[in-house]
């Protein structure tokens, strides 16, 4: 089951004019990597059709003993668009559960770039 992503009102206000970045780190139990990727793909396929979606990518650690074996980086127009899309995804129950999979999503706004 997906954990709801809580968004504070201050974060919504400060990100209203620029897109936001979702960074979601995954702790993947041994032997569950393929299932975790399949679940991410199901979520990606659903979310890609939602208003406000810009892009996403899944990164895999090069170190076999990394705490976070997978990291999802996604771009959304607004925090509200992301929150609504994930609410719809949870209601549709399309995210296949993976035993022992733990993930920690958070939205970020860019504050510096080169």
Q: How many angstroms separate the Cα of 15 from the Cα of each of 1, 42, 60, 78, 105?
A: 27, 27, 28, 7, 17
In a domain, 85, yes or no: yes
* 17-61 confidence digits (pLDDT tens): 589 999 999 999 999 999 999 999 999 999 999 999 999 999 999
State the chain's mean pLDDT as an integer.
89
- 3 belongs to a structural domain: no
Q: Per-residue pLDDT for 11 more than 90?
A: no
What average pLDDT does the segment 92-103 reach? 92
Q: What pLDDT was estimated at residue 17? A: 55
User: pLDDT tens digit string along 51-61?
Assistant: 999 999 999 99
CATH of the domain at 90: 3.30.70.100
**Measured distance CA(69)–CA(63) in Å, rounded:** 8
Structural domain of 97? 19-108
Q: What is the number of domains present in the chain?
A: 1
């Amino acid at each position: 089951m997906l954990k709801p992503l809580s968004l504070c009102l201050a974060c919504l206000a400060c990100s209203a004019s620029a897109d936001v970045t979702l960074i979601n780190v995954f702790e993947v139990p041994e032997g569950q990597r393929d299932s975790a990727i399949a679940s991410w793909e199901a979520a990606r396929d659903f979310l890609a059709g939602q208003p406000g979606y810009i892009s996403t990518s899944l990164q895999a650690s090069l170190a076999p003993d990394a705490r976070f074996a997978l990291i999802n980086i996604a771009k959304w127009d607004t925090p509200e668009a992301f929150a609504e899309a994930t609410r719809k995804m949870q209601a549709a129950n399309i995210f296949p559960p993976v035993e022992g999979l733990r993930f920690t999503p958070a939205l970020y706004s860019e504050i510096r770039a080169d």
